[in-house]
Homo-oligomer: A and B are copies of this chain.
Amino acid sequence: MHRTKVKVVTDALDANNTIAHANRHDFDHAGVTVVNFMSAPGAGKTTLLERIVTELDGVRVGVLEGDVAGSYDADRLSALHVPVTQLNTDAGFGGECHLDANMVRSALHEVPLGEIDMLIIENVGNLVCPAEFRVGEDVRIMATSVTEGEEKPLKYPLMFRACELVLVNKIDLIPHLDVSLDRILHNIDSVNPKAETMCVSARTGEGIDAWKTWMGDLVRRRAGAPA
């Protein structure tokens, strides 16, 4: 039984990569920079996005919202008048705990790629499986909340290793917690020394300007590069 299981997973990842390349081709054709945005449930992804989706100078942002059920995050973001597409994983995918390339592909006909410069894919809140499935993105960013404690990078190393940028969010709560920001940053560095880290608070806005610059540069680098 165990051998069968491994085979299924391998096939699934191979198929995923094939479809991720097809997505990548479509994104390149449209000239759209794509971010796969991941975190544990409740780390503040949507609130972080509310801070930037209309604030990136000259960059038109669209959002693809992945959730098991509901459209709470999509409703919050579409109130800001950016194009938002909701992708639920509870029907047709059996309540999946992550987005994969095929799920993203199934939603692409609803995403106005010709009208945006950047697509941010807000993945299902989960620190394990989303890191295993490329969806055709340019970069992977994760948010981790200081309220989750200091040892999350050590317990979920694959997620932290998968990301180019780690946003350490909710730093306004540090005075009310028994955690050390230095130890969180040290633990991120110990599993992924190449990751960039930014300490931010979606609630107060602290550190958000640096993230906006980072996101804008991402699009400008693509625009300057050969198609």
Contact = CB atoms under 8 A, between A and B. Distances in A.
Copies, count:
2
Interface of A: 1-2, 5-6, 8-9, 12, 15, 40-42, 67-70, 72-73, 92, 94-97, 124-129, 132, 145, 147-149, 151-152, 154-158, 170, 172-173, 176-178, 203
B94 A41 contact: no
Contact of A147 (B9, B12, B73, B173): B173
Nearest to A8: B8
Contacts of A129: 97, 129
A171 to B, nearest CB: 12
A40 B6 contact: no
A173 B129 CA distance: 29
A47 to B, nearest CB: 8
B132 A128 contact: no
